[in-house]
Amino acid sequence: MFAIIGCQAEAKSQAEPGQKDEQELMDKPKNKSKPELTPLQFHVTQEKGTEAPFSGEFYNHFVKGAYQCVCCGNKLFDSDAKFESACGWPSFSKPADKTNVSESDDSSLSMTRTEITCESCGAHLGHVFNDGPPPSGLRYCINSASLKFVEADSAGD
Ligand code: FE
């Protein structure tokens, strides 16, 4: 009897393709490669947006730990490299590992800048400038909305 019910349910879904499409549409937003992002996180990481200065969660955040990609969890920056830049965005002198971020030329907004993205998933993170502190002389200017912070204790560091 149970088998018959199962067959009927299957036959019903095949007989109504419209209903099946609807189900597929409902399933589509559940992108398994990315967690659910807030509208701002989506705008920054997927549409190369920029959060308003002095508005982000981490611009004035100085706690020991690691900053990961909000989309994929790739470790991007250590708190040891974070410094106060007064620019309004989280600023780092270097990435946790240079191979975890990608650099590319960005000539949008009538400026020549170097865009920084997550090497693992391609999420837009921010830009890098040549006005950082020694020894690197670099300032990785990163949107808080592209980051997820893991405190040192919970990160196992
Ligand atoms: Fe990522």
d(CA 50, CA 77): 18
- Residue 66 Cα, ligand 1 centroid: separation in angstroms? 14
Neighbours of ion ligand 1 (CB under 5 A): 69, 71-72, 74, 118, 120-121, 123
- Beta-carbon contacts of 2 under 8 Å, excluding residues fewer than 6 positions away, are none
Q: Could you report the per-residue pLDDT of 44-96, keeping only the tens digit for each?
A: 999 999 999 999 999 999 999 999 999 999 999 999 999 999 999 999 999 99
Contact 82, 138 (CB under 8 A): no
d(CA 149, CA 64): 10
Q: Considering the candidates 69, 71, 118, 141, report the single residue annotated as catalytic.
A: 141
What are the domain boundaries of the chain? Answer: 4-47, 65-155
**121 classed as catalytic:** no
- Residue 98 Cα, ligand 1 centroid: separation in angstroms? 14
Question: Hey, what CATH class is 65-155 in?
Answer: mainly beta
Q: How far, CA to CA in Å, does 85 sit from each of 24, 38, 40?
A: 47, 26, 23
- Residue 74 Cα, ligand 1 centroid: separation in angstroms? 5
Residue 2 pLDDT exceeds 90:
no
Q: Could you report the per-residue pLDDT of 116-134, keeping only the tens digit for each?
A: 999 999 999 999 999 999 9
